[in-house]
Amino acid sequence: MTISVFVGTSLDGFIARPNGDFDFLPAGGGEPHGYEEFIASVDAIVMGRNTFETVLTLGAWPYGDKRVVVLSSRPLSSTSIDLSAARGGRVEQMAGPPEQIVSQLAASGAHHLYVDGGITIQRFLRAGLIQRLTITRVPVLIGEGIPLFGSLPHDVQLRHITTRHYPSGLVSSEYHVAASVVNC
């Protein structure tokens, strides 16, 4: 099983403003930067409830019939967000620690997971489950917001794979998570 992250951040490392807004990220339909190829390679997308609810407000369902697993201990039907926005999508709910989620998805035939959403990425990274990180930095400093990476119990060693830059100023770097090393 391969577990990957593909995410955009401000240059100062924030995935969203303090209120959750990510208006500083380029709007869809901009220059290609590898997302379409990446999303075509995944079997399932795993995201937290907050990310799911945000995606539902963005208009057309962006994942087609790709399997989307929403991590939440509360039923999705209890949300005040209109679930019909996911029409045509394959959305299911799971709860539990990251290791359990990965085990269940592997048992159901998934081979490549895309983990999305700040808290979910942090939980899977802390559990040592992420193998690949693709981080696209937007040339803007927003000063404060929701960080991509929270505190970690130990260093996470990365091996650089490639970096690409684009005419808009986006810089995308891909890393392999090499090993976790305790640094106390």
Quote the CA–CA distance of 43 and 184 in Å, as a whole number: 37
Say if 162 falls within a structural domain. Answer: yes
The pLDDT of residue 39 is 95
- Among residues 129, 66, 68, the alpha carbon closest in space to that of 97 is found at 129
pLDDT of residue 60: 83
Domains in the chain, number: 1
In a domain, residue 136? The reply is yes
Instruction: Please give the pLDDT value at position 48.
Output: 93
E strand map for the chain: 2-10, 14-16, 44-48, 67-71, 90-94, 112-116, 132-138, 146-147, 155-165, 171-181
Predicted confidence at residue 182, as pLDDT, reads: 34
- pLDDT recorded at residue 83: 66
Q: According to the model, what pLDDT value does residue 169 have?
A: 92
> Which pLDDT value is given to residue 180?
44
Tell me the C-alpha to C-alpha distance, in Å, between residue 5 and each of 79, 97, 117: 26, 18, 9
Could you tell me if residue 183 is inside a domain?
no
Query: Residue 98 maps to which CATH number?
Result: 3.40.430.10
Strand partners, 160: 175
- Whether the CB-CB separation of 83 and 17 falls below 8 Å is answered with no
Tell me if 178 is assigned to some domain: no
**Structural domain boundaries, residue 153:** 2-25+32-166
Does 19 map to a domain?
Answer: yes
Q: Quick check: 64 and 87 in contact, CB under 8 A?
A: no
Neighbours of 99 (CB within 10 A): 12
Contacts of 87 (CB under 8 A, 6+ apart): 61
Residue 171: inside a domain: no
Q: What is the residue-level pLDDT of the chain in tens, covering all 184 positions?
A: 999 999 999 999 999 999 988 889 887 656 788 899 999 999 999 999 989 988 888 878 889 889 999 999 887 776 566 666 777 788 999 999 999 999 999 999 999 999 999 999 999 999 999 999 999 999 999 999 999 998 888 889 999 999 999 998 999 999 999 864 333 2
